[in-house]
Amino acid sequence: MSRWFEADKVGLRQIAERLVERRGFGIIGAELYQNVMDTNATSCEIVLEKTKSRGWYSLVCEDNDPAGFADLTHAYTVFAPSLKKHDAEKAGRFNLGEKVALSFCREARIETTKGTVIFSAKGRDEQPRRRRDLGTRFWAVIECTPERFDEFVAHMQRILVKPGLKLTVNGVLVPERKPIDVFEETLVTEHGDDLRSTKRKCAVEIYQPQDDQAAMLYELGIPIVETGDKWHYSVRQKVPLNADRDNVPPAFLRDLRAFVFNHMHRHVTSEDTEESWVSDATSDEKVTDKALADFKAKKFGANAVVEDPFNRDANAAALTDGRTLIPKHGLTKGQRENLKTRGLLVSSTQAFPTAGKGAYSDDPDAPPIEVIPESEWSEGMREIFDYTHGVAQRLIGKSLVIRFVHWPRRDGGTWRACYGAGHVLGLSFFDYNVGVLGKQWFANGVTEDTDSLILHELGHEFCTNHADENYYQALTKLGARLKKAALTEPEWFRPFA
């Protein structure tokens, strides 16, 4: 039967050279190992050594798979329908493994249980009766340089050997490594005759890089591309590869990084949070709340707030409180959206409302703050109302509009009280946030903490900036006035004692 196409060895060599340039000469050995890995072999021996001819090396790959080649024609047919396409846990796709290696060879021989194929300057010679009892042996004279020889050996030593398969390279055993963690997640893979993209749950293994190795992404234990991340990731199924077979789509790597961060964030340091892979992971919508909170705590501090460029007083208050200010460009768009959506991000104005600014939403369409009606006040709240009203008259000479509002922490509330030195009708506002203070705080009556909170808020009558010297002078002045009032009018203070 005549065929539509013929493969050109020189053209395939040119394509293979591009692959070697990107992934190193070791990919030749990895392709041969991959074929063995996808079988039931328990042993794979690979030897690359110099010949007497300069620039030419002998390459041997031998295994003990009982079946050998399922179809001898696959030894020389590029893009033959691979039996591995339907198995996501086998790396084979296009029957390219031996052919990539053959494109670099002067002569070669493939011996298997279905026969032998010899490649020479005269062409291809098939000998179906010359069979092995067990396994497959690939032998070739391949063009190589000392530099590429070193690349080959180094690459093969990085392989994460399949459990139950013994791999030796030039007589040296590639040790089986144990992952530091294993988890299962759903990732995109390639499957079926058309290698369509589909999602499938698979295991992901995490390995610690050794000897200053750059961290890499692995497909079924075979290194694909350097990531520059903290660990090696070995995905235990086919990964979606680009046309050059040297990288994965950015969206795939980002999802994988998010899953890794979800499972490994406890091992991430504050220094690691500056790395691009952490930024990628925490910008992905698949990052969990727990991992995201840990990221924020390690990078900025658990109580960090976003800097408000329009409220210097709130920024100063946050710094005075020992909090880190997250700058405008301190987070990626994805990180900001994730943190905000999960309730893990508030602005300095939300955390430290000053003169009434920012205590509640600046959105005109936002629902109004929940004000607790007087009919629902507890006895403790009534007592705090009377005390606050009386203290304000004595310290700043004002009658305040005092409200009890409810804005709990889960909705972004972090402040306990808010004071606004308003000019409407000459009134100033004092709000107690029951959602943060809690009902017990009012049940405790007037305490030292009550006086501390009232003095803190009334200080904003004179200065809104917590870090300003004028604010501290206001606090000392108010403290002195409170002492004087208590000594002058002990009968008024006594019921609150």
- The pLDDT tens digits of the residues spanning 472-495 come to 999 999 999 999 999 999 999 999
Q: What is the dihedral of CA 463, 465, 467, 470, to 10 degrees?
A: -10
pLDDT surpasses 80 at 67: yes
Report for 88-97, 214-223, 346-355: range of highest mean pLDDT:
214-223
pLDDT surpasses 60 at 349: yes
The pLDDT value given to residue 466: 80
Q: Is the dihedral of CA 79, 191, 110, 103 positive or negative?
A: positive
The pLDDT value given to residue 424: 45
The pLDDT value given to residue 123: 86
pLDDT surpasses 60 at 87: yes
161/352 Cα distance (integer angstroms): 56
CATH of domain 370-496: 3.30.2010
The model carries a pTM of 0.72
**Please, are residues 122 and 138 in contact by the beta-carbon 8 Å criterion?**
no
Query: 58 exposed, middle or buried (CB, 10 Å; 0-12, 13-18, 19+)?
Result: middle
99/342 Cα distance (integer angstroms): 51
pLDDT surpasses 90 at 468: no
Query: Which residues, 6+ apart, have CB-to-CB distance to 337 below 8 Å?
Result: none
Q: Which of 403, 406, 404, 402 is nearest to 435 (CA)?
A: 406
Q: Which of 344, 312, 349, 306 is nearest to 327 (CA)?
A: 306
The pLDDT value given to residue 432: 94
The pLDDT value given to residue 1: 45
CATH of domain 9-173: 3.30.565.10
Neighbours of 293 (CB within 10 A): 16
pLDDT surpasses 70 at 81: no
**Please, are residues 75 and 29 in contact by the beta-carbon 8 Å criterion?**
no
pLDDT surpasses 70 at 458: yes
**Please, are residues 214 and 226 in contact by the beta-carbon 8 Å criterion?**
yes
pLDDT digits (tens, 9 = 90+) for 132-169: 999 999 999 999 999 999 999 999 999 999 999 999 99
Calculate the average pLDDT of the chain. 87
Residue with the bigger pLDDT between 88 and 217: it is: 217
pLDDT surpasses 80 at 379: yes
Mean pLDDT of 440-450: 95
9-173 and 370-496 agree in CATH topology: no
315/467 Cα distance (integer angstroms): 9
pLDDT surpasses 80 at 246: no
Mean pLDDT of 163-185: 95
Q: DSSP letters of 314-334?
A: HHHHHHHTTPPEE-TTSS-HH
**Lowest pLDDT segment from 70-84, 132-146, 287-301, 309-323:** 70-84
Structure tokens at 398: 């004002």
The pLDDT value given to residue 50: 95
**Please, are residues 179 and 205 in contact by the beta-carbon 8 Å criterion?**
yes
pLDDT digits (tens, 9 = 90+) for 251-298: 999 999 999 999 999 999 999 999 999 999 999 999 999 999 999 999
432/443 Cα distance (integer angstroms): 14
Strand partners, 59: 48, 140
pLDDT surpasses 90 at 42: yes
E runs forming strands in 178-249: 181-191, 196-207, 216-219, 222-226, 232-235
Structure tokens at 138: 């690939």
Strand partners, 218: 223, 234
- Residue ranges of the domains in the chain? 9-173, 181-280, 300-351, 370-496
